[in-house]
Amino acid sequence: MMRFLPVRAGALLVELDGLDEVLALMASLENDPLEGIVELVPAARTVMVKFDPHRFHSDELIADLSLRNLSGLVWRHAGPLVEIPVRYDGEDLQEVADLVGVTPQEVVRRHTACEYVVAFTGFAPGFAYMVSPDANLVVPRRKTPRTRVPAGAVALADTFSGVYPKDSPGGWQLIGTTDLPMFDLDREPAALLQPGSRVRFIDISTTRSVFKPTAKPARIAKGPTKRAATIEVISTLFPLTFQDEGRPGLSAQGVSVSGAADKASYRIANRLVGNPPGTPAIEITLGEVRFKVKGHVVAALTGAPLLASIEHSDGSKSSVGRYEVMVLADGDVVSLGPPKRGLRSYLAIRGGFDVMPVMGSASRDVLAQIGPLPLVAGAEIRILPAPRSATVSAGEGEPFLMPAVGETARLDVSLGPRDGWFAKDSIGRFLEQEWTVSPRSSRIGLRLQGEPLAYREERELPSEATLPGAIQIPRDGLPVVFLTDHPVTGGYPVIANIASHHLDLAGQLPPGSRVKFSVFPQK
């Protein structure tokens, strides 16, 4: 049976009876695709359907999905089988054997005797949730998660098998290790395992040779053919990150969208200097930056208001406002003060920065650790030549009033998909109180302080897909608002989702500001 849970305009969560039904729905939509669907993100018992709201209404989508016959459908990828060599030396192998009621040797035999299929991805880029009806290895997560699980750890939890792609915290039961990289940026696609992939685990515990991935030659950047303009970071309060439109459509690899936290301000910065859409800009958090120009550049600042002053090479000084074009000469030093409102500012330079994209984007994803490294004091970055056909935009202004410490910003939300997990008085308190943004917030998410909310449900929620703007409520009852670098899937109930038109405003909320949520009807 299907249940349809609202998320926000352009997204719908389909809840099914179990993983078999999830895979059957994926098979149905693969065999008979519905035009207008942008992306599907499967999970343990749900499928997140992202669609173009201009193509059809959610009611039309629900009507189509409700009529699909899922009986007998199995989602299988037509690609080659992936074999993963494993040394069965995990710390929890004996505990897993005790939980299942067999010997460690029997655990290894069962794990290697069957074929797995990747049901969905999440948690981290390249982390695949693999299932097999023949494995018969069902174990609970550890009561106390480890603070560090090494990359390559082969693990079990519930009915799933998985391989940690990088060092990270984790609560799965560890049964072995592999040297086969699950996520490699030099590979296309970067994630070795994607939904629908078939997998077999190969026991190499008794072999003398140890599997090692083939070494790749280092990529060497070509030097400039002529002297290029640069900017050198003299000092900065926080590391500076490159951001652009992000990496949409890569949920199947466990990669979130990322990109500028305030895309409206980022786009205006590029328009002011005549850059094409999607040109990387620098995202500045809380100002306090000084940089020196070598050569001649044209720049613009947008987003959180910063006081910008220029120390010219001849000793003179001048100031420049936001949404104004700065013409900077060789030797000029630009100093940016702290913003009085907002959190993030954007520096665009005509021609753009000479930065290598990763997975199609120059955005730095702080959770996945994907993208060009942040800039710190001493870093120098080249500026690319500007296209001759570039057209600058005039008359640009602030897209919205930037929020300030101590003031209350109002954010429109759509309740769901898991508002039913909370008591009615908790829903009321969620909407009625003013929440305070915690200093522990980041590009991954805003942590809010206030009166905690209480669960009505005591059971655990299986991991399911989330969107930027999803408001999760962990067991402590305090909301976490996912921003651009959020995990693809989450294990806590989402009480509401911020409306798309307020995502940029959420990305500008500084610590100490307050936020109040208002229900916004979906269309």
Residues 446 and 503 in one domain: yes
Predicted confidence at residue 253, as pLDDT, reads: 86
When divided into structural domains, the chain yields a total of 4
236 with 358, same domain: the answer is yes
Whether residue 59 is found in the same domain as residue 94: no
Q: Is residue 212 part of a domain?
A: no
Could you tell me if residue 142 is inside a domain?
A: yes
**Are residues 101 and 130 both part of a single domain?**
yes
Q: Are residues 120 and 238 in the same domain?
A: no
Does any domain span residue 352? yes
Q: Residue 392 falls within a domain, yes or no?
A: no
Q: What is the pLDDT of residue 222?
A: 47
What CATH number corresponds to the domain at position 41?
3.30.1360.40
Residue 345 lies in a domain: yes
If asked whether residues 168 and 304 sit together in one domain, one would say no
Q: Is residue 131 part of a domain?
A: yes
Report the C-alpha gap between 380 and 440 in whole angstroms.
Answer: 29
Low-confidence stretches of the chain (pLDDT < 70) are 74-79, 208-226, 390, 522-523
Distance CA 302, CA 323 (A): 6
Residue-wise pLDDT for 217-230, tens only, equals: 434 344 444 578 99
Asked if residues 469 and 498 have their Cβ atoms less than 8 Å apart, the reply is yes
Q: Are residues 164 and 288 in the same domain?
A: no
Transcribe 118-147 into DSSP letters. Answer: EEEE-SSTT-EEEE-TT----BPPPSS-EE
> What is d(CA 124, CA 437) in angstroms, rounded to the nearest whole number?
25
Rounded-to-integer distance, Cα 366 and Cα 332, Å: 31
Give the pLDDT score at 351: 96
Rounded to the nearest angstrom, the gap between the alpha carbon of residue 199 and the centroid of all alpha carbons in its chain is: 26
**E strand spans, 68-172:** 82-86, 116-121, 128-131, 146-149, 153-157, 160-163, 168-170
For 151, 342, 371, 438, the CA distances from 286, given in Å and listed in that order, are 34, 8, 21, 15
Give the pLDDT of residue 386. 86
Pair 97, 107: CB distance under 8 Å: yes
Among residues 203, 219, 243, the one where a domain terminates is 203
User: What is the b/e burial string over 16-27, where b = at least 16 CB atoms within 10 angstroms of the residue's CB?
Assistant: beebbbbbbbbb
Q: Tokens at residue 113, please?
A: 């005797």
pLDDT at position 522 is 64
Same domain for 193 and 318, yes or no, is no
Give CA separation, 433 vs 56, 59, 410, in Å. 35, 32, 11
Question: For position 208, what pLDDT does the model report?
Answer: 52
Question: CATH number, domain at 420?
Answer: 2.40.100.10
Provide the CA 399 distance to its chain's centre, in angstroms: 24
Give yes or no: residues 234 and 374 share one domain: yes
Going along 338-488, which residue ranges are E strands? 344-349, 380-382, 408-415, 435-437, 445-449, 464-465, 470-472, 480-482
Residue 219 falls within a domain, yes or no?
Answer: no
CA gyration radius, the chain: 25
Burial letters 357-384, b for 16+ CB under 10 A, else e: ebbebbbbbbbbebbbebbeeebebbbb
My answer on whether 375 and 251 are in the same domain is yes
Q: Identify the pLDDT of residue 75.
A: 63
Residues in the chain: 523
Return the pLDDT at 212.
46
Pairwise CA distance, residues 154 & 173, whole Å: 8
Helix (H) / strand (E) element for 113: namely helix 104-113
Q: Are residues 158 and 298 in the same domain?
A: no
Closest CA to 334 of 346, 351, 322, 317: 317
Rounded to whole angstroms, the Cα distance separating 296 from 176 reads 56
On whether residue 271 sits in a domain, the answer given is: yes
**Closest of 480, 496, 408, 411 to residue 445, by C-alpha:** 480
66, 94, 113 - which closes a domain: 66
What is the domain range of residue 135?
Answer: 82-203
Same domain, 355 and 421: no
Can you tell me the distance from the alpha carbon of 36 to that of 320, in angstroms, rounded to the nearest whole number?
45
With beta carbons less than 8 A apart as the criterion, state whether 124 and 168 touch: yes
| C-alpha–C-alpha distance, residues 516 and 428, integer Å | 12
- Which of 384, 190, 182 shows the shortest CA–CA distance to 273? 384
Whole-angstrom Cα distance, residue 111 to residue 157? 13
